């Protein structure tokens, strides 16, 4: 387990390098990431390479016992390349080329750009691939599925469609182009989605272009991996990702990579809304689930971070170390803070680092230093993993499809997942977030929120899980669309009707309007956004509506199916409902529950098969006290404890 930093030596006078490296070593930094934006320094002119400075930097970090992650700098080609080859620039949906001056403005489908990308990769790996101090290689920076509409992308999209659908007639059929007289008579007529709002355009076309863009990103990553592995077969290769407007399919993206890396930016302002799912734990668990094993945090927030809008608040005392610990608790093995020092120039100068512009170490730096010392005690976690009884299913197609056609005001696919994740976390349960095709057999409960786009293998997997005795929760807006993003002509939830033992007679999009439901015990909960009015076949009503013309109609159902149980939640509720439902499911399935955890306290367990290590993190601005069932040994404080006292954003680990 290593704690490190992101470092950009090309942005600093060389006189600072040695001082920085020495200070890093004294602080406890074990690993640095360099190089991902340094292409213009490495290749100042076409075909003229200069690695002298990078050689010096590599030798310097080796002297101080600090490992290096080398970033392949393909995100920011030098300006000479754009000047010589203007065709490599991305083209926006409005048909205009992206203006130079920002990053990531190259088209990854451009064969010209790809040749240059492979060449710089090959040169770097040949030079440093045999260096044992290189811990890993990072491809590009935050690879995204940008919707480029250049001529190369258009033609490649045409080929992609023909490879998938064989004929133009099949494309017309699955796209439903008879609507608005949009039938294609020639493949050249198929254009990427335009600059119009996506909800006004063909949903099938928009979804297929999202898939194409994601596939293009994954193919680009694969090509660079092949170069690295050809030159250095034992190299460890990753890519750092974040959540953005155009998320790629992370499962496909990382299929060719050795491990997942994530850029973690938790919110620094705790929201006043008690229902807000603000914890970064959800995204950390999702990243761990991409490959089903522990991951790295390649960029960990060090303080207020903004380069587009006004600056948010600075990190409160304890947040910097607390959020780094939270990442460890959810399966991160190595964490690199972004960044060592705040930049004094460029768009990210107010994306604050550990050391401010003054270059004088302050409160945040000393907190980071203390965390580095604490991390040295955590080598007991090096061989541990997270084993979960609960899985939440995440399907990228659903995310893309809901973006294309937004639903009721406030209805959000990710929030559907977060509500259940937060509820299970309130009871101290580990949660995996996995692809719908993942092996579900080891889970006591599976949550499948808004399975909007039909995927045959996923539906079969869900049925198989329940048939074999699993407990499933399905929610509204499931089974709505076929694989082509067209509505299925059947009563909802179509393919899942038999499983849930009910069907949707009608639905009501109520937006922010609040209504109520009453469960089987007489407990009343508020609901909003969406109301499926259910007609029972074999299911029983778990909760009924208490308002509107569908008062007394089922809102939530429970159905015994073969050896398992399937719940259906037909509306969207506040946190108290999800905690109640999840609590009942955990009790019925025999999952242990930690009762009475203070608000904001998160508990996860990492295990090596012999010992369990329970991680406590106080993700709130109030002190918290947790009583333990017996005296347990604190890894952090090296003493036995009968209770855990946590300051705001404080943390502890005990051996069970």
Where in the sequence numbering do the catalytic residues fall? 142, 299
* Residue 575 burial (CB count, 10 A): 17
What is the rounded CA–CA span in Å between residue 452 and residue 437? 15
- C-alpha to C-alpha distances, 557 to 113, 537, 570, 571, nearest whole angstrom: 54, 11, 8, 11
List, edge to edge, every strand of the sheet that includes 524-536. Answer: 431-434, 390-393, 445-448, 471-475, 564-569, 554-561, 540-545, 502-519, 524-536, 571-573
Residue 433's CB is within 10 A of a number of other CB atoms, namely 23
Burial of 621 (0-12, 13-18, 19+ CB in 10 A): middle
- 467 half-sphere exposure, CB direction, 13 A CA radius: 8
Q: Taking a C-beta distance cutoff of 8 angstroms, is the pair 565, 580 a contact?
A: no
Q: In what order do the strands lie in the sheet containing 2-6?
A: 237-238, 134-139, 67-72, 31-34, 2-6, 332-338, 295-301, 261-264, 240-241
Q: How far is CA 310 from CA 307, 560, 604, in A?
A: 8, 52, 34
Please provide the distance, in angstroms rounded to a whole number, between the alpha carbons at the two ends of the chain: 21
Q: And the tokens for 259? A: 């491990």
Give residue for tokens 């956004």. 529
DSSP string, 362-394: -HHHHHHHHHHHHHGGGGGGTT-EE--SEEEE-
The backbone torsions φ and ψ at residue 124, rounded to the nearest 5 degrees and listed phi first, read -65, -45
Which strands make up the sheet holding 601-607, listed edge to edge?
Answer: 385-386, 601-607, 612-618, 651-655, 624-634, 639-646
CA–CA dist 125, 270 (Å, integer)? 43
Structure tokens at 655: 């051996």
Instruction: Count the alpha carbons within 13 Å of 502 in the hemisphere toward its beta carbon.
Output: 30
Name which of 352, 321, 143 is nearest 242 in CA terms: 143
Nearest alpha carbon to residue 327 among 290, 287, 273: 287
Question: Directed axis angle between helix 17-27 and helix 363-375, to 10°?
Answer: 50
Q: Report the alpha-carbon distance of residue 647 to residue 649 in Å, rounded.
A: 6
Closest CA to 543 of 583, 580, 513, 595: 580
Q: Is the peptide bond before 339 cis (omega within 30 degrees of 0)?
A: yes
Q: Which two tokens stand for residue 650?
A: 């404080």
Q: Rounded to the nearest 5°, which phi and psi values hold at 512?
A: -85, -5
Measured in whole angstroms, the distance separating CA 116 from the mean position of its chain's CA atoms is 30
Angle of helix 396-404 relative to helix 203-231, nearest 10 degrees?
140
Q: Which residue matches tokens 């008579």?
A: 185
List of residues 6+ apart from 218 with CB closer than 8 A: 248, 249, 252, 253, 255, 256
Which among 267, 243, 377 is positioned nearest to 319, based on CA atoms?
A: 267
Q: Are strands 564-569 and 554-561 parallel, antiparallel or unpaired?
A: antiparallel
Q: Quick check: bond before 435 cis, omega within 30?
A: no
């Amino acid at each position: 387990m290593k704690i490190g930093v992101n470092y950009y030596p090309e942005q600093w006078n060389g006189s600072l390098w040695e001082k920085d490296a020495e200070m890093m070593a004294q602080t406890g930094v074990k690993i640095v990431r360099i190089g991902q934006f340094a292409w213009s320094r490495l290749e100042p002119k076409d075909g003229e390479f200069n690695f002298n400075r990078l050689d010096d930097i590599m030798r310097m970090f080796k002297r101080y016992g600090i490992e290096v992650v080398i970033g392949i700098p393909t995100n920011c080609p030098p300006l000479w390349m754009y000047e010589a080859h203007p065709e490599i620039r991305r083209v926006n949906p409005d048909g205009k080329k992206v203006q130079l001056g920002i990053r990531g403005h190259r088209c990854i489908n451009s064969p010209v750009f790809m040749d240059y990308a492979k060449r710089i990769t090959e040169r770097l790996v040949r030079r440093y691939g045999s260096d044992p101090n290189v811990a890993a290689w990072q491809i590009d920076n935050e690879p995204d599925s940008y919707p480029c509409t250049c001529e190369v992308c258009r033609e490649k999209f045409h080929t992609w469609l023909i490879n998938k659908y064989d004929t133009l007639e099949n494309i017309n059929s699955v796209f439903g182009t008879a609507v608005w007289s949009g039938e294609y008579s020639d493949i050249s007529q198929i254009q990427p989605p335009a600059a119009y709002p996506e909800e006004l355009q063909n949903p099938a076309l928009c979804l297929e272009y999202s898939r194409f863009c994601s596939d293009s990103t994954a193919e680009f990553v694969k090509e660079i991996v092949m170069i690295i592995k050809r030159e250095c077969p034992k190299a460890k290769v990753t890519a750092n990702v974040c959540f953005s407007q155009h998320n790629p399919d992370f499962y496909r993206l990382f299929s060719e990579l050795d491990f997942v890396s994530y850029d973690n930016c938790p919110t620094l302002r705790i929201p006043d809304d008690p229902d807000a799912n603000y914890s970064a734990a959800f995204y950390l668990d999702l990243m761990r689930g991409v490959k089903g094993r522990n991951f790295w945090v390649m960029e960990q927030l060090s303080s207020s971070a903004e380069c587009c809008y006004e600056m948010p608040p600075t990190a409160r005392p304890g947040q910097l170390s607390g959020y780094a610990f939270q990442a460890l608790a959810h399966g991160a093995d190595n964490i690199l803070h972004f960044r060592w020092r705040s930049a004094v120039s460029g768009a990210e100068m107010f994306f604050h680092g550990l050391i401010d512009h003054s270059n004088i170490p302050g409160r945040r730096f000393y907190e980071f230093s203390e965390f580095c010392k604490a991390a040295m005690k955590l080598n007991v976690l090096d061989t541990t993993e997270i084993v979960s009884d609960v899985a939440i299913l995440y399907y990228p197609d659903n995310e893309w499809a809901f973006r294309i056609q937004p639903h009721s005001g406030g209805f959000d696919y990710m929030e559907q997942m977060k509500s259940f994740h937060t509820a299970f976390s309130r009871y101290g349960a580990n949660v995996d977030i996995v692809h719908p095709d993942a092996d579900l057999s080891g889970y006591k409960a599976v949550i499948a929120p808004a399975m909007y786009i039909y995927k045959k293998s996923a539906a079969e997997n869900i049925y198989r899980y329940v048939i074999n005795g699993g407990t499933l929760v399905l929610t509204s807006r499931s089974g709505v669309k076929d694989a082509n993003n067209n509505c299925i002509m059947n009563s909802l939830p179509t393919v899942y009707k038999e499983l849930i033992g009910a069907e949707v007679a009608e639905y009501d999009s109520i937006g922010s309007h609040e209504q109520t439901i009453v469960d089987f015990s007489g407990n009343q909960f508020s609901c909003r956004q969406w109301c499926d009015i259910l007609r029972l076949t074999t299911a029983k009503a778990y909760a009924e509506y208490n308002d509107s013309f569908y008062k007394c109609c089922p809102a939530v159902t429970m159905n015994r199916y073969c050896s398992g149980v399937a719940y259906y939640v037909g509306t969207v509720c506040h946190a108290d409902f999800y905690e109640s439902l999840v609590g009942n499911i955990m009790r019925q399935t025999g999952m242990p529950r930690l009762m009475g955890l203070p608000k904001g306290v998160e508990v996860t367990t990492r295990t090596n098969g012999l010992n369990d290590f329970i991680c406590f993190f106080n993700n709130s601005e109030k002190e918290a006290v947790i009583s333990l069932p017996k005296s347990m040994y604190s890894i952090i404080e090296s003493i036995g404890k009968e209770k855990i006292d946590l300051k705001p954003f404080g943390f502890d680990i005990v051996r069970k």
